[in-house]
């Protein structure tokens, strides 16, 4: 369906409507948008105050606070916790995004075959995505519980007892990523599946007639044409994974030790659990900075890819 172009407020085929005051006409779109912007920007005003407070030692536990300049920042940048938090953030984001993209792509391809089975599956496989991540963590904790969990009982059949899931530094990241995958893989799958279904048939027909192997088709036809969809999935998932809070918090609050202490959880613990508000802000602002930079690059790339894709079809 052809996308209709926006109608310029000033130029239109019918002049009768726009005989009102010109400035009102020009201002109209802004006026219409204004409420939504006010509402959302109003929420982001705190961002400025966040920078302000990061220069103080504000704490909820004592009513007195004072300016301490860049102390919070210096302390953060010289503390191992800070760099560890960045490292954990990267680890978690990489583990989840990579697994979700790769496996999601594979499952989407499997689902693109038109059978009765896949048609039903496409509908029900969306369910995990609808579950709140906190609830999903709860479910998985129950299932893997060493005393009553169904997965524990299943593993017992293979003589595996008391698997440590989220309790050991060696397996905690795996467990958290597993839950993240369970919730969010359907997101990637649905998106890529939609992409696959929107691909034109003719290039594939041509390739088959020419005797191209499945792998060849995939690499040189499918993947490039799916790029826009892959990009969208990547952007959304990566941005979300870098600031993941709910799953980790519900799972171990950042433990064991500091295995899962990414920037969000560290900031929360410092700022809320210990009420050291000023101290927590460098972590938050760092996170914001990282996300901002990466998302700008990715979105710019995506726009490029979109232009390429629409040029092809």
Question: With respect to another protein, which residue has the nearer C-beta, 158 or 311?
Answer: 158
Question: With respect to another protein, which residue has the nearer C-beta, 95 or 193?
Answer: 193
Tokens of 45: 């005003």
**Cα 169 off chain centre by:** 24
Question: With respect to another protein, which residue has the nearer C-beta, 94 or 155?
Answer: 155
Question: With respect to another protein, which residue has the nearer C-beta, 92 or 182?
Answer: 182
d(C-alpha 272, C-alpha 267), whole Å: 8
Q: Is 276 helix (H, G, I), strand (E, B) or coil?
A: strand
Tokens of 159: 């003589």
Q: Is 117 helix (H, G, I), strand (E, B) or coil?
A: helix
Q: How far is the CB of 135 from another protein (least distance, A)?
A: 5
- Contact (Cβ atoms closer than 8 angstroms) between residue 299 and residue 101: no
Q: Which of 230, 209, 214 is nearest to 105 (CA)?
A: 230
Q: How far is the CB of 308 from another protein (least distance, A)?
A: 15
Q: How far is the CB of 258 from another protein (least distance, A)?
A: 6
- What end-to-end distance do the CA atoms of the chain give, in Å? 13
Question: With respect to another protein, which residue has the nearer C-beta, 123 or 311?
Answer: 123
Q: How far is the CB of 306 from another protein (least distance, A)?
A: 8
d(C-alpha 175, C-alpha 163), whole Å: 11
Q: How far is the CB of 27 from another protein (least distance, A)?
A: 9
């Amino acid at each position: 369906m052809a996308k209709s172009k926006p109608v310029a407020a000033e130029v239109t085929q019918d002049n009768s409507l726009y005989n009102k005051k010109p400035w009102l006409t020009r201002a109209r779109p802004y006026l219409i948008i204004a409420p939504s912007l006010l509402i959302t920007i109003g929420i982001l005003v705190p961002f400025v105050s966040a920078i302000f407070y990061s220069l103080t030692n504000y704490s909820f536990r004592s009513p007195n606070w004072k300016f301490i300049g860049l102390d919070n920042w210096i302390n953060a940048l010289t503390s191992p916790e800070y760099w560890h938090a960045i490292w954990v953030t990267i680890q978690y984001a990489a583990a989840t995004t990579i697994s979700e993209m790769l496996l999601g792509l594979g499952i989407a391809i499997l689902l693109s075959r038109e059978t009765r089975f896949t048609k039903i599956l496409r509908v029900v496989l969306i369910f995990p995505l609808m579950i709140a991540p906190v609830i999903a963590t709860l479910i998985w904790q129950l299932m893997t519980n060493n005393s009553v969990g169904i997965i524990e009982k299943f593993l017992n059949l293979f003589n595996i007892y008391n698997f440590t899931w989220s309790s050991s530094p060696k397996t905690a990241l795996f467990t958290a990523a597993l839950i993240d995958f369970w919730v969010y893989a359907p997101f990637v799958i649905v998106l890529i599946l939609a992409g696959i279904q929107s691909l034109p048939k003719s290039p594939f027909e041509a390739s088959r007639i020419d005797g191209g192997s499945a792998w060849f088709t995939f690499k040189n036809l499918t993947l490039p044409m799916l790029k826009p969809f892959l990009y969208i999935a990547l952007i959304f998932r990566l941005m979300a994974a870098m600031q993941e809070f709910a799953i980790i918090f519900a799972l171990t609050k950042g433990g064991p030790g500091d295995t899962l202490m990414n920037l969000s959880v560290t900031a929360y613990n410092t700022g809320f659990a210990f009420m050291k508000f000023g101290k927590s802000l460098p972590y938050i602002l760092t996170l914001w900075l990282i996300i901002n930079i990466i998302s700008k690059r990715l979105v710019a790339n995506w726009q490029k890819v979109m232009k390429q894709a629409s040029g092809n079809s």
